[in-house]
Amino acid sequence: MRITGLGHAGMFIETLGGSILVDPWVKSAFYGSWFPFPDNRSLDWERYGKADFLYVSHRHRDHFDPWLLETYVPKDIEVLLPDYPTDDLENDLRGLGFTNITYTGAGEVIERGPLRMMITPLRAPSDGPIGDSSLSVDDGTASILNQNDSHPLDLEKLLSFGKPEAYFTQFSGAIWWPMVYDLPQDAKEKFAHLKREAQHKRAMYYIERVDAPHVFPMAGPPMFLRDELFRYNGLGAENDSIFTDQSEFLARLRAEAPQYDGHVFMPGTVVTIEHGEQTIEQTLYTDAEIAAIFEDKWGYLEQQRATRQAEVAEEEASRAPVLPPDEMLAALKAWWEPLLRRGRIFREGVGGNVRFRIGELDMVVDFPKAKVREYAGEECVYWYTIPADLVSTNIAEHEIDWSNSIFLSMQFAVGRSGKFNEFLTTFLKCLSRDRIEYVENWYAEQSDVSEDVQLGDWVVQRRCPHLRADLSKTGKIEDGVLTCSLHDWKWDLASGRCLSTQGHPIRSRAAEDAARAEATAAAV
């Protein structure tokens, strides 16, 4: 088996049963904010486009590049479609002309001669754009796991496919916190450090449990080449960003878990595995060029910025004309109010007013009353400032996921009066009837927390209130605070209060109190 790095999360997998094109991305994403790091335009895209199978893990635009798929990939290719609750990804692919679609079942093994493949989807509201997935591949000569951006809860089921020899996984997150937030600089630096540490701990959690001998960190970081965002590359010009790079992560991996062989995986990296023997070569960059990319990263980024401003300008010119404030308000009112009326759990979860300053429009979304209207001085729990051309384009294209467009672009600002509100962020990426109904039902099902488990001196509900991870495997307690290692959410066990966001309390009590109650019940 041979795996060629295509940049970011992209790869070209050659097996005895055919080749697989995975998440190819070249064009800038999220309104011209993200570019693949390092530059991958010089790869032989004509060759890689003629694969036997196409696998797009999820809809995020740093994994799903419509321009590349239209330009280089034949429309009769067999598309391996993850089993997602809504049809958004399928509709996107069919809209590009792909019709040879194989509907994969969750955890179902697909066989093509000696080639075995399995796609494991995740379907929670916070999994990518309502869905993320991983790909397992085995052709008899090697077995690999491409976990991508996904954070699976049931690793035993995932690894039942077989123990991978090579493990490809995200290590550098994709989020806008805390960079765009209205915070003092010292707070941004503190929160950025905490976010990087949480991402690192999550990556290490999976590396240790998958326990593959060879680890290839991928799916990050991007390059920010717009002038106003350039300072947020890597750890940030002022140490206030969250994007650890490959060399930084591998240095920590060597220090913390030397039993694993970590390798740089970038455009042109070719990994060949045959019956336990592995070789790695680089076909696009020289050793000196790779050293310069990581050792003089800001210099490399400056070169990229200087040569790619035409791409930034081209993207800006493609945006829709700015709508007048009254037309924009009317369009958002007609679009959002019916969804708000359907989203009872969303309305209760946000529980207040959210202000949007969009160019000349100043509006408020009243979640309790399911109304969109002009702002009139109401107290608000969140407030956004967003360029009018981005919102006008989202309206024109009826973009149902604002996290997969405006928010990941980082071309906006936001503030809040309390903690992070998951319900608000989820609503803004569920701007369709199908998504609203699915997520409303998903949240309703999370009320089943009947089973308990003892962790140290505490008895807590077994399932994490966030994404129902098994806390007997992912939970750690220190000084009365429970942390779920998958997403670093925390709870005060004495009160059950979530310390990471509003809502999502946990059921907990001291183990000795639980034992006493059981003894009393038995005696009765």
pLDDT given for residue 514 in this prediction: 65
Residue 135 lies in a domain: yes
Return the number of other C-beta atoms located less than 10 Å from residue 291's C-beta: 12
pLDDT band at 504 (very low <50, low <70, confident <90, very high): confident
Q: Indicate the residue type of 221.
A: P
Mean pLDDT of 121-132: 87
**CATH number of the domain residue 483 falls in:** 2.102.10
Q: Is residue 270 part of a domain?
A: yes
Range of the domain at 308: 2-312
**Tens of pLDDT, residues 358-399:** 999 999 999 999 999 999 999 999 999 999 999 999 999 999
Q: What is the pTM of this model?
A: 0.87
* Over residues 185-190, mean pLDDT: 97
Kindly state whether residue 451 falls inside one of the protein's structural domains: yes
Same domain for 264 and 135:
yes
- Helical packing angle, 309-317 and 297-307, nearest 10°: 50
- 3-state SS, residue 448: coil
165 vs 172: CA distance, rounded Å: 22
End-to-end CA distance of the chain: 65
Regarding whether 65 and 108 lie in a shared domain, the answer is yes
User: Which stretches of 210-276 are assigned E, i.e. beta strand?
Assistant: 214-218, 222-224, 261-262, 269-274
Last residue of a domain, one of 290, 312, 334: 312
Chosen domain end from 312, 333, 368: 312
What is the pLDDT averaged over residues 434-451? Answer: 79
pLDDT grade for 250, boundaries at 50, 70 and 90 = very high
User: Is pLDDT above 90 for 294?
Assistant: yes
**Can you tell me the distance from the alpha carbon of 222 to that of 237, in angstroms, rounded to the nearest whole number?**
15
386 plus 516 within the same structural domain: no
Give the pLDDT of residue 418. Answer: 86
Does residue 259 carry a pLDDT above 80?
A: yes
Question: Residue 94 pLDDT more than 60?
Answer: yes
What value does the mean pLDDT take over residues 288-302?
Answer: 97
Residue range 454-479: average pLDDT? 86
Q: Is the pLDDT of residue 141 over 90?
A: yes
Same structural domain, 115 and 217 = yes
Q: Let me know whether 399 and 515 are in one domain.
A: no
Residue 318 lies in a domain: no
Q: How confident is the model at residue 516 (pLDDT cuts 50, 70, 90)?
A: low
What are the two backbone dihedrals, phi and then psi, of residue 478, each rounded to the nearest 5 degrees?
-145, 125
Write the burial class of residue 58 (CB in 10 Å: 0-12 exposed, 13-18 middle, 19+ buried).
buried
Residue 282 sits in the same domain as residue 232: yes
Same domain, yes or no, for 415 and 455? no
- Distances in Å between the Cα of 81 and the Cα atoms of 144, 233, 469 are 19, 33, 25
Tell which residue, 345, 393, 347, has the closest CA to residue 371: 347
Question: What Å distances lie between residue 221 and 146, 234, 243, 452, 481, CA to CA?
Answer: 17, 7, 5, 39, 31
How does residue 229 score in pLDDT terms, banded at 50, 70 and 90? very high
Q: Do 262 and 393 fall within a single domain?
A: no
DSSP designation for 320: P
What would the mean pLDDT of 191-213 be, rounded to a whole number? Answer: 96
pLDDT band at 126 (very low <50, low <70, confident <90, very high): confident
* 63 pLDDT tier (thresholds 50, 70, 90): very high
Which pair of tokens denotes residue 438? 């699915």
Whether residues 143 and 275 fall in one domain: yes
> For residue 56, what are the contacts with CB-CB under 8 A and spacing of at least 6?
23, 63, 64, 79, 89, 93
505 and 451: one domain?
Answer: yes
Residue located via tokens 């207040």: 352
CATH code at position 144: 3.60.15.10
Q: Are 415 and 181 in contact (CB under 8 A)?
A: yes
**What single-letter amino acid sits at 518?**
E
Mean pLDDT of 413-422: 93
**pLDDT > 90? residue 174:** no
Residue 505 within a domain:
yes
Q: What is the pLDDT of residue 469?
A: 77
Confidence of residue 450 (pLDDT cuts 50, 70, 90): low
Pair 153, 294 in one domain: yes
Lowest mean pLDDT among 189-198, 415-424, 508-517: 508-517
Does any domain span residue 279? yes
Residue 58 banded pLDDT, cuts 50, 70, 90: very high
Q: Which residues lie closer than 8 Å to 270 by C-beta, 6 or more apart?
A: 2, 3, 4, 5, 280, 281, 282, 283
Number of domains the chain contains = 3
Does one domain contain both 48 and 104?
A: yes
Whether 16 maps to a domain, the answer reads: yes
> Rounded mean pLDDT of the chain?
94
- For residue 319, tell me if it sits in a domain: no
Q: How far is CA 282 from CA 142, 167, 272, 276, 506, in A?
A: 20, 18, 11, 20, 49
What was the pLDDT predicted at 520? Answer: 59
Domain boundary (433, 459, 493) is at 433
User: Rounded mean pLDDT of 229-256?
Assistant: 97
Nearest to 140 by CA among 110, 111, 114: 114
Instruction: Give pLDDT, residue 515.
Output: 66
Instruction: Provide the 8-state DSSP code for 418.
Output: S
The predicted structure's pLDDT at residue 464: 86
Task: Kindly indicate the confidence band of residue 519, based on its pLDDT and cuts at 50, 70 and 90.
Answer: low
User: What is the reported pLDDT for 448?
Assistant: 54
The CATH number given to whatever domain includes residue 400 is 3.30.1050.10
Task: Give the per-residue pLDDT at 486.
Answer: 73
Q: Which of 279-293, 418-432, 504-518 has the lowest mean pLDDT?
A: 504-518
Segment 73-92 mean pLDDT? 96
